[in-house]
Amino acid sequence: MSRAESGNPWIDIFRELQEEELEEGYGETWALHFNYSLTNDLPQEKRKQGWKVTERPSNGSFTCSSCHHLWNSARICIVFHYRRRENAQRGQVLMRPFRQQCRQCNSGKYEHPKFNEDRIEEILMGVIVKIKKNCYGVVDPDESPPKSPSDQRWTKPHHKELCEACQQGICTKA
């Protein structure tokens, strides 16, 4: 896949996937935006507006901005809210990747996760499968749904005191 030039791989990869999977198939354009106040809760008012929510657990890495310590995590929680606006022939996806703190220097700063492009594509494809199912009623038997957090096996301890999602009661494996 050739990537567009927004400077953000999440937005670029989503743009390509939505063109191939949603715009070509359903004639509707979808956009991805970041929102760092999202939770995995949807108030009734948002549900009435057509919003839906999905969580995608993932693995990725972090780098401490204070001591430059690098660590990997298999428990990164990413929350997505999405809705289709039929009258406008477009859809909107909001995402929030949850952060973690460094256990080496205890700076107290939450660091943003980093993901390689293949992993970003896999995460976003899982969101598109949800969109196709919940907004267009399409269930593709060839598409296997991404593993749920309970299907994953964790091999290292999770430091819930350093996990932003755990602190907010969102983390899938506290």
User: Band of the pLDDT at 156, cuts 50, 70, 90?
Assistant: low
Please tell me the total count of domains within the chain: 1
Whether 1 is covered by a domain: the verdict is no
User: Radius of gyration (Cα) for the chain, nearest Å?
Assistant: 17
Whether 135 is covered by a domain: the verdict is yes
pLDDT at 3 over 50: no
> Residue 30's domain spans which residues?
9-167
Whether 156 is covered by a domain: the verdict is yes
Whether 20 is covered by a domain: the verdict is yes
Whether 172 is covered by a domain: the verdict is no
pLDDT of amino acid 54: 95
User: Band of the pLDDT at 55, cuts 50, 70, 90?
Assistant: very high
DSSP, collapsed to helix, strand or coil, labels residue 126 as helix
Whether 75 is covered by a domain: the verdict is yes
Instruction: Say which amino acid occupies 160.
Output: K
User: What is the tens place of the pLDDT at every residue in 98-150?
Assistant: 999 999 998 999 999 999 999 999 999 999 999 999 999 998 766 555 554 44
The per-residue DSSP string of 92-123 comes to: EEEEEEPPEE-TTT----EE--B--HHHHHHH
pLDDT of amino acid 144: 54
pLDDT at 8 over 80: yes
Average pLDDT score over residue span 23-32: 94
Whether 63 is covered by a domain: the verdict is yes
Whether 173 is covered by a domain: the verdict is no
Q: How far apart are CA 10 and CA 27, in angstroms?
A: 22
**What share of the chain has pLDDT > 70, as a percent?**
86
- H or E stretch at 165: helix 164-167
